[in-house]
Amino acid sequence: MYKIKKNSIKYLIISLLVLFLITSFMIFFVETKIRTFRFNELKINESRLISLENSFLFNDLNTIVADLNYLQYEFENPGADTDRFEKIAEDWVNFSSQQGIFSHIQFIDINGDEKIRINLGESGGYIVPEGELQNKKESDYFIRAIGLGDGGIYISRLDLSKENGKVIEPYMPVMHFSKPAYDTNGKFEGIIVLCYLADNILQDFRNIALDSEGEIVLLDPESYWVSSTNKNQEYGFMFEGREGNTFSKEYAEEWAAVLKKDGQIVTSKGLFTFQSLDTLKKITTGAKDVSGQTINPDSGKLYMVSLVPRDGSQKSLFTDKIFSLVIDILKKSKLYFLLSFFGSALIAVLIYINRMDYNKIHFYSLYDTMTKVYNRRAGIEKLNKFFPIDERRSSPFSICFIDINGLKVVNDILGHKEGDELILEVVNIIKSTVRESDFIIRMGGDEFLIVFTGIDADGAESVWLRIKSNFEEVNLKEDRPYLISVSHGMACYSNEKKLPLNDLMKIADEKMYGEKRIITRDWNALK
């Protein structure tokens, strides 16, 4: 019974572990699926925002190009007025006031001298006096645009407005749009320049970026930040000591992917979604410079990059690192795991109780209630398995029929409690003496059958002598009101004596009763 209870406890522990592992796996599976679904939604959302940013910036910059083309048309078709530049300047003043998005509008001749400059003031556009006009031949937007052919446009990098080589404060983000201009006879005269106040599109860019689960930044072709939540990162190329502060330095692998093609990647640093904006390439396809080369500079190119960091608010959605995922799910779902454990424990206990009931029923269907040895049905069934199906293959075994002497007298005089104690003592002594492979069957009342496996009658008799010796030792040491005395009869199955079970039991039974008659006769003689 102890073994059954021990096995049932083992079954309880195994049931608990299996149930807990199954429910834990289900929690992990469901949680991982939820996170994967949410991560896919995150990827879709960031891609949507980047596309929206790209579309918005392109439309805005394309509108500026249209304005530049309009000013070029006005320059080349000023009307019948005698003072051509004066008429153009007046028209441009009205244009500047209406638009309100250009820091200044310039016409620069082929020598780099400003001939017309319209500045934007608080009350609108105004003409800069001739005495204040400057030579701009050293400026990048002049140098890059002066060599363009008809149809060519130069868009500068997004930077901060400078005056006399110094950055103007408060900072004023600008982009220069330049294109060649011709007189009424088609002769090249210089370039028209629009200095766009880029803070307009940058603010809208930042507003759209607020819907990102991470951060959306705007980068120039050299990977400098021109829009970032960290203002100290912006326009590093314009400030001493910040020249190397680039996106590519911090995110080398990711920048290489950005330059390769538009897309989305997951790296050790997070989820990156990116698109490039090349307004110039789209609006000047096929245009040539004066040397006949196709125009495709990348100065005005911009890159929009969304970064959702692994250690940010969405870190739980990154499921590609198993160990980190397991730890995070354990932390965030500990209540579910606790409930799972208690639920598993409750079910395991119910299974254990059911198992114990089953084991008890099963045990008592096999074993004698009082002595815990095999009952007659189960014992005979087990014993029959020792008779080989193949007669050529068999091993010897012996059976010993025993009967407890004087049990009826003990029951009649001392009571059944003492009689039961006598039976238990006999069985316990036999159990402690026989081998583990041997077993005992209670045939009924005070009759038992001992099965000695793998040995013949002589070997079994040797074991029986040790059992008898143990009986005598108890009789000498313990002050019992009765003596332990057992009659026995031995029979053996072997290759030489292949007897059926009934015949074996009959032989053993007869030998046992023969011994019992002698013992009874001797007891009566003593009286």
State yes or no: pLDDT of 289 exceeds 60. no
Q: Where in the chain do CATH 3.30.450.20 domains reside?
A: 45-55+200-317, 64-198
DSSP labels, 327-338: HHHHHHTHHHHH
Which of the residue ranges 241-245, 323-327, 378-382 would you say has the lowest mean pLDDT? 323-327
- Residue 291: band (very low, low, confident or very high) from pLDDT cuts 50, 70, 90: very low
Give the pLDDT mean for 287-293.
43
State yes or no: pLDDT of 192 exceeds 70. yes
State yes or no: pLDDT of 363 exceeds 90. no
Task: Report the candidate in 353, 381, 223, 377 with the shortest Cα–Cα distance to residue 301.
Answer: 223
- Residue 62: band (very low, low, confident or very high) from pLDDT cuts 50, 70, 90: confident
State yes or no: pLDDT of 26 exceeds 90. no
Q: Where in the chain do CATH 3.30.70.270 domains reside?
A: 376-526
Structure tokens at 515: 């011994």
Task: Report the candidate in 520, 466, 456, 517 with the shortest Cα–Cα distance to residue 490.
Answer: 456
pTM check: above 0.75:
no
- Give yes or no for a contact between 203 and 227, defined as CB atoms under 8 angstroms apart: no
Structure tokens at 193: 């320049």
Give the pLDDT mean for 104-125.
94
State yes or no: pLDDT of 349 exceeds 80. no
SS percent in the chain: helix, strand, coil, step 5: 50, 20, 30
State yes or no: pLDDT of 298 exceeds 80. no
Residue linked to tokens 């038992």: 448
- Residue 336: band (very low, low, confident or very high) from pLDDT cuts 50, 70, 90: low
Superfamily of domain 45-55+200-317: PAS domain (3.30.450.20)
DSSP labels, 351-364: HHHHHHHHHHHHHH
Give the pLDDT mean for 155-181.
87
Which of the residue ranges 279-288, 320-329, 382-391 would you say has the lowest mean pLDDT? 279-288
Give the pLDDT mean for 28-54.
89
Q: What is the mean pLDDT of the chain?
A: 84
CB-side neighbour CA atoms (13 Å) of 227: 28
- C-alpha dihedral over 469, 473, 474, 476, to 10 degrees? 140
Task: Report the candidate in 241, 239, 269, 237 with the shortest Cα–Cα distance to residue 255.
Answer: 269
pLDDT value at residue 293: 39
The larger pLDDT score, comparing residue 36 to residue 26, is at: 36
Task: Report the candidate in 115, 128, 122 with the shortest Cα–Cα distance to residue 100.
Answer: 122
State yes or no: pLDDT of 306 exceeds 80. yes
Domain 376-526, CATH number (from 3.40.50.10310, 3.40.1280.10, 1.10.240.10, 3.30.70.270): 3.30.70.270
What's the CA gap between 287 and 89, in Å, rounded? 28
- Residue 340: band (very low, low, confident or very high) from pLDDT cuts 50, 70, 90: low
Amino acid, res. 53:
E
Contacts of 428 (CB under 8 A, 6+ apart): none
Determine what percent of the chain is predicted with pLDDT higher than 90.
39
- Give yes or no for a contact between 433 and 463, defined as CB atoms under 8 angstroms apart: yes
C-alpha 278: how far from chain center: 39
State yes or no: pLDDT of 267 exceeds 60. yes
State yes or no: pLDDT of 218 exceeds 90. yes
- Give yes or no for a contact between 403 and 446, defined as CB atoms under 8 angstroms apart: yes
State yes or no: pLDDT of 38 exceeds 60. yes
State the CB neighbour count (10 A cutoff) for residue 429.
20
Q: What is the pLDDT of residues 458-478, one digit of tens each?
A: 899 999 999 999 999 999 988
State yes or no: pLDDT of 527 exceeds 60. no
pLDDT value at residue 331: 72
DSSP state of 367: B
Helix (H) or strand (E) holding 173: strand 173-182
Give the pLDDT mean for 43-61.
91
What's the CA gap between 176 and 158, in Å, rounded? 8
Helix (H) or strand (E) holding 85: helix 84-99
What's the CA gap between 203 and 420, in Å, rounded? 99
- Give yes or no for a contact between 266 and 214, defined as CB atoms under 8 angstroms apart: no
Domain 64-198, CATH number (from 3.30.450.20, 3.30.2000.10, 3.40.640.10, 3.40.50.300): 3.30.450.20
Task: Report the candidate in 250, 248, 276 with the shortest Cα–Cα distance to residue 263.
Answer: 276
- Residue 4: band (very low, low, confident or very high) from pLDDT cuts 50, 70, 90: low
What's the CA gap between 505 and 502, in Å, rounded? 5
